[in-house]
Structures are given as C-alpha cells and as structure tokens.
Amino acid sequence: MKFFIINSGSSSIKYQVIDMTTETVLAAGLVERIGEVYGRLKNTAFPGTRDEQESVIEQPIPDHRGGMQLVIATLTDKDNGVICNASEICAIGHRVVHGGEDFRGSMRITPTVIEALQRNIPLAPLHNPANLDGIRVAMEIFPQVPQVAVFDTAFHQTMPPRAYLYAIPYELYEQDRVRRYGFHGTSHRFVAGECARLLGKPLAECNLITIHLGNGCSMTAIENGCSIDTSLGMTPLEGLVMGTRSGDVDPALHLFLKQNKGMELEAIDALLNKESGLKGLCGMNDMRDIHEAAAEGDVRAQQAVEVQTYRNRKYIGAYMAVLGRVDGIVFTAGIGENDPIVRAESLEGLEAFGVRLDPERNGLRSKKARCISAPDSTVRVFVIPTNEELAIAREVAQVLRG
Ligand code: ADP
C-alpha cells in the first residue's frame, strides 16, 4: 500500500512516498528551480534495512512534467530506489491550497473537481495554477492510479457566517466570494485528532485551540471537533505575526502607503507578504537567529518576539471567549514544536483563565507529542508535531475507502 504525496509549487515539487500499512516514509524529496537554468532534485530514501540514502541531481528541469519524470526515475533507481516500478504506487494525494467554498473535504480528482479548482484561481492566483500543474502531470504519468485533492481550506468550511464574513458590502461576498477561508487546515485537523487521543476522548467532544507557528502562522478555534474560527483570511496574510507576513494591519495602510510613499498596490502586497512580520520588525525571520540576537541585547529582536507572542496571546484570549470551555491548547510546526520561550510568552498571564504551564515540561526537547501544562491547569497544553504529508495520506485512504 504505497501512496505518493505531492505538493506542487510554481517552481518546485515536494513529495513523499509513504507505506500506508505501517505509515512509514519510504522516500522524501524536493525538486526545485523548475524552469530555471539549473534545476535540482534532492531525494532521501529510507530503505528500512539500510541507512537512509541521500541523492542530489542537478540538471535543467524545463517543466513540472520533467520534474515528475526525474522523481520517478529516482524512486525506481536500481541502487537506492524504494519502488521497483511506478505501478507499485496505489494512490496519489495532492495538496491543494484553495478549495474556495466548493470543498468541505478531500475529493477524488475528476474533471468536475479540476473545473472547480480552475474556478478558484482568482482566490489563489499563485498557488492553485501550480497545484493544477502537478495534478495534470501526475494524471498523465499515472492514468490508472486514483488521485485525491486535499485542500488547505476544507477543514475551515464549518465556520459559521459570523466568523467568515467581513463587514464589507455583502455583494462582494455574493458576487466575488470575498470572505475568510482560512488555511493550514490539514495541519490543524491532524494535531486536533492527535490531541483528542491524548485527552482520551472523541474529537467530536473536544474544544481546542490549535496554534500552528512555522514560517506561516495560524490559530484555529475548534468546537466539538469542527473549526469555528481561524486567523488566516481570504488569503494567507491575515491574523498572527509570521516569518515575513504582517498578519493583521489597518486596511487603510494601503492608501497611506500609496499617498505618502507613491507605492503601487503590487508593491504594497509584496511588502506585506515578503518584507513584514518578524523580518520586517528585526531584519530576521528565523526564530533561532532572533533569540540569539535578543540574548545579545538586540532590542529590535526582543521586540519582534514580544509583538509575535502578544498577538498570539490576544488571539488565544479571543478564541477562549468564543469557545467558552477549552479542553486543550496545542502548539505545532517549527516554532510551536521547538520554542519554549515563544510558548511560555504566548500563554503569559492566562493563569486566571485556567492555563498554567509546567516550566520543566515546557523546556524539555523532544520530537514526541507531549503535555506541557501543570497538573492543576484546567486547560491542558500540548506540543504535537504536525505531519502534513501523513495527514494527506490518511485523507487519501479515507476518501478511497468511501
Ligand atoms: P513552514 O511554515 O515553512 O513549514 P516550519 O514549520 O518548518 O515552516 O517552521 C520554520 C520555522 O521554525 C523557522 O523559520 C524557525 O524560525 C522555526 N524553528 C525551527 N526550529 C526551531 C527551534 N529549534 N527553535 C525556534 N524556532 C525554530
């Protein structure tokens, strides 16, 4: 039962081959710089009985088709391939960024699904065309293999209108589908499921706040297992302070920058997406570098951590108010899983709301899912490593079971 999981970007293909009988990764890799002068494929094979083997190929990769063929040649390589031939792949899962309002769950890919993805291009003009490229190429190369689309937005389709509507003229929602959609849904759903297991009760009875802090950051309020509010909006720019994305700003900032700095809308968009967030505040976007600088007395680095963790705390407070009862708060992704300082500062002052960290448990380094709250904390706090590829593979299995 080998599944091929594909995350196709505009100039890259990230992939894994997972053996679903044991849920183990057989190979993982990345094709980069598709369409540039020098392309690159890096593959790591986990052959099980032998040590992991890394291989790198550098050559021009003209398009996604060429990239995918190189991946298959690598996976079937007679020395360190993990499959004998392409027919060993029994299902393919595609990560798709924007499903708009069309998809509340993962879908077996059919011409109708492809049509809907095309319809949603205006909502994700950079991501959806790249995802579609990956789907088309995979369907061409593996015509007999069932393929499933797993959407970043689908988990959040349970949000009620009071959470997803922006207070702007209603026609913009009716005619152009301007609303909050939310992203990182696969990750939020995965860690929520793992958290329910740790809490020892069905997900459908759990109220949770899941906090994904990586390069992109988002927080979700989960009531009885369903997303009822989330911090990312119509695009992945709203909400928390991210690596290079601003999160919430006054929408009138655009006009100010145009009138006072003569900036075009596209330049403002690039500024908010690529030059803001932690990077905008202190010039660095990797939290490890920021902590190092902060420890050496860099005031802007210290402030960047404060701005991010203060925003986290505000959202946690808002979601506690929205949920009423909270069983668990979950930290995940690069920062959430590895950074005890950000976790502690994000929860600072929430003792009155029943949130109490155990400093020793919070400080422990581990790759395992674990509880980090004090025994007397009414809200339990967890660190749960996310695994988006495995989450996608499980979704694929579920869709194919029907
Ligand atoms: P992405 O959103 O790209 O998937 P990740 O979830 O991999 O990102 O998170 C990447 C971020 O995690 C890095 O930018 C870095 O700031 C942070 N990170 C990784 N390891 C650590 C660590 N040990 N301590 C603090 N932050 C870390």
Q: Give the Å distance between the CA of 136 and the centre of ligand 1.
A: 31
The ligand 1 atom nearest the CA atom of 289: 16
128-177, pLDDT tens digit by residue? 999 999 999 999 999 999 999 999 999 999 999 999 999 999 999 999 99
pLDDT of res. 402: 85
Work out the average pLDDT over 207-213: 98
> For ligand 1, is residue 286 a contact (CB within 6 Å)?
yes
> For ligand 1, is residue 216 a contact (CB within 6 Å)?
yes
53-112, pLDDT tens digit by residue? 999 999 999 999 999 999 999 999 888 788 988 889 999 999 999 999 999 999 999 999
pLDDT of res. 49: 64
Each domain of the chain, given as residue ranges in start order, spans 2-151, 201-388
Architecture of domain 201-388: 2-Layer Sandwich (3.30)
Beta bridge partners of 57: 41
* Phi, then psi, of 381 in degrees rounded to 5: -115, 135
Report, as residue numbers or ranges, the catalytic residues: 152
Fold (topology level) of 2-151: Nucleotidyltransferase; domain 5 (3.30.420)
> For ligand 1, is residue 215 a contact (CB within 6 Å)?
yes
**pTM, whole model, 2 decimals?**
0.94
Residue 113 to residues 96, 128, 135, Cα–Cα distance (Å): 11, 12, 11
284-319, pLDDT tens digit by residue? 999 999 999 999 999 999 999 999 999 999 999 999
2-151 and 201-388 in the same fold = yes
Q: Give the Å distance between the CA of 291 and the centre of ligand 1.
A: 12
The ligand 1 atom nearest the CA atom of 216: 2
Residue 348 has pLDDT above 80, yes or no: yes
Work out the average pLDDT over 223-251: 97
> If we measure between CA atoms, which residue out of 28, 30, 29, 27 comes closest to residue 48?
27
pLDDT of res. 181: 97
Q: Give the Å distance between the CA of 215 and the centre of ligand 1.
A: 6
